[in-house]
Amino acid sequence: MEGFIDTARPLPNLALRSLLTLGVLYGFLTLLLIIAVELGFISSLGALIFGLISAALQYLIAPWILDLTLRFLYRCRWVANEELPEHLRLFVEQVCANDGVRFPYFCVIDDGAPQAFTYGHSPRNARIVISRGTMTLLAPDELEAVVAHELGHVCHWDMVVMTIAQVVPLVSFSIYRAAMRMSDGDKKNRSASFVVAVGAYVVYIVSELAVLWFSRLREYYADQFAGERTNNPAALASALVKIGYGLAGGPDSASSKGQSGSQIEGVSNGALGALNIFDRKASLGLVVSTGGAATAGTANTERVKDALQWDLWNPWALYYEIQATHPLIAKRLERLGQQSIAFGQPPYLIFDREQPESYWDEFFVDLVVLLLPKIGVMVGLALLMALSFGAPFAVALLGFPLALFGAGALVKAAMQYRRGKASQASVASLLKEVKVSPVRTSFVVLSGKVIGRGVPGYIWSEDFVLQDETGIIFLDYRQPLPLWDFLFGVLRAGSYTGKPVEVSGWYRRAPVPYLEIATIRDMEQGVSRNCYTSYAKWLGALICLVAGVLLLVTGW
Residues annotated as catalytic (active site), given as ranges: 150
Residue (of 282, 279, 248, 273) closest to 262 by Cα position:
248
Q: What are the helix (H) ranges across 417-529?
A: 427-431, 482-491
Q: 3-state SS string over 174-215? A: HHHHHHHHHHHHCCCCHHHHHHHHHHHHHHHHHHHHHHHHHH
* DSSP line for 128-141: EEEEHHHHHHS-HH
* 354, 1 Cβ separation under 8 angstroms: yes
* DSSP line for 40-60: TSS-HHHHHHHHHHHHHHHHH
298 Cβ partners below 8 Å, 6+ apart?
A: 238, 249, 253, 254, 255, 256
Query: Is the dihedral angle over the CA atoms 10, 13, 18, 24 positive or is it negative?
Result: negative
512 Cβ partners below 8 Å, 6+ apart?
A: 282, 283, 284, 286, 474
Residue 198: CB atoms within 10 A of its CB come to 14
Strand partners, 118: 128, 275
Residue 505: CB atoms within 10 A of its CB come to 26
Query: Is the dihedral angle over the CA atoms 418, 419, 421, 426 positive or is it negative?
Result: positive
C-alpha–C-alpha distance, residues 427 and 514, integer Å: 10
DSSP summary character for residue 374: H
Over the Cα atoms of the chain, what is R_g?
26
Residue (of 157, 142, 184) closest to 22 by Cα position:
157
C-alpha–C-alpha distance, residues 102 and 241, integer Å: 30
C-alpha–C-alpha distance, residues 211 and 205, integer Å: 10
Helices H / strands E in the chain, number of each: 16, 12
Within 13 Å of residue 310, how many CA atoms lie on the same side as its CB? 27
Residue (of 495, 137, 138, 453) closest to 271 by Cα position:
453
C-alpha–C-alpha distance, residues 535 and 500, integer Å: 26
DSSP summary character for residue 259: B
